[in-house]
């Protein structure tokens, strides 16, 4: 199994060796470790060097922040170009939704311009995008990705109106669901809509979840519960879902 979106650099580094060994014993083969800024990108690369077979690094700048500064952007772009053969994706990048009201009109315009730069960078170095773009930002993000027609993308934890979800699916991009799928009808409906060949699983750890996971630490082991729920929704065996979602992740995140 493959957790395709986790903030691994936010876990307790003193325990990571033990944790990763346990996760691997339980069937978690790989994770896509996404970064949130320049320092997070360096930490994520370090984790890849420590656990090269387990950690697929994605370097980027989380969009629910003020626009990235020019100096940080230059260094981060340079790092991605230099290390692109070791990197699995450009991410986490995208467009803001939750912090949108805190940004001025000029900042929002700059955020869009910068996201297009991320799209063009990913296209230049032949890497997929790991995208945060939910609710009212999804459609615009999809339009900007479309400016590089062959660009591959993963819309993580997709939350958008039906018509926009359909556009993402028809575009051929990948969509992932989190542990919320185990207890939220919205996410279960998304699983019904997305073909299994475009579906990925993720935890977005260490983000905490409700339902049966309330009060529990989020780890890649929750992927097992996600797979079980997808199998139930689609009327398939757990083995079929495991196999296909793993193949999907390899197809998108091959290094």
Residue 6 has pLDDT above 80, yes or no: yes
Q: Where are the alpha helices (DSSP H) in the chain?
A: 16-25, 38-50, 70-83, 105-124, 138-145, 162-170, 185-193, 223-234, 238-253
Q: Which residues pair with 57 in a beta bridge?
A: 33
Domain ranges of the chain: 2-253
How do residues 146-192 score in pLDDT, each as one tens digit? 999 999 999 999 999 999 999 999 999 999 999 999 999 999 999 99
User: Quick check: pTM over 0.95?
Assistant: yes
Q: What is the pLDDT of residues 216-249, one digit of tens each?
A: 999 999 999 999 999 999 999 999 999 999 999 9
Helices 105-124 + 70-83 axis angle, to 10: 20
Task: Say whether domain 2-253 belongs to CATH 3.20.20.140.
Answer: yes
Q: Would you place residue 254 in the very low, low, confident or very high pLDDT band (cuts 50, 70, 90)? A: confident
Give 83-141 pLDDT, tens digit per residue: 999 999 999 999 999 999 999 999 999 999 999 999 999 999 999 999 999 999 999 99
Nearest to 1 by CA among 235, 155, 230, 255: 230
> In the prediction, which pLDDT does 108 show?
93
Residue 82: the pLDDT is: 98
* Alpha-carbon span 131 to 235, nearest angstrom: 29
């Amino acid at each position: 199994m493959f957790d395709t979106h986790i903030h691994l650099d936010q876990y307790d580094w003193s325990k990571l060796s033990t944790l990763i060994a346990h996760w691997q014993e339980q069937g978690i083969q790989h994770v896509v470790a996404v970064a949130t800024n320049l320092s997070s990108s360096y930490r994520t690369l370090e984790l890849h060097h420590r656990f090269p077979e387990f950690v697929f690094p994605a370097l980027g700048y989380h969009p629910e922040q003020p626009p990235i500064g020019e100096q940080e952007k230059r260094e981060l772009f340079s790092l991605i170009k230099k290390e692109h053969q070791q990197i699995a994706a450009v991410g986490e990048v995208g467009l803001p939704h939750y912090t949108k009201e805190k940004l001025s009109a000029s900042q929002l315009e700059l955020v869009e311009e910068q996201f297009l730069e991320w799209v063009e960078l990913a296209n230049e170095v032949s890497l997929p995008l790991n995208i945060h773009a939910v609710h009212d930002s999804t459609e615009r993000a999809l339009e900007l990705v479309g400016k590089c027609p062959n660009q591959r993308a993963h819309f993580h934890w997709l939350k958008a109106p039906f018509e926009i979800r359909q556009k993402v699916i028809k575009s051929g991009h990948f969509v992932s669901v989190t542990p919320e799928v185990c207890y939220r009808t919205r996410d279960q409906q998304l699983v019904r809509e997305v073909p299994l060949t475009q579906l990925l699983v993720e935890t977005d750890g260490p983000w905490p979840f409700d339902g049966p996971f309330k009060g529990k630490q989020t780890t890649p082991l929750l992927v097992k519960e996600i797979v079980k729920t997808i199998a139930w929704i689609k009327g398939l065996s757990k083995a079929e879902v495991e196999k296909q979602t793993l193949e999907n992740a390899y197809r998108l995140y091959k290094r």
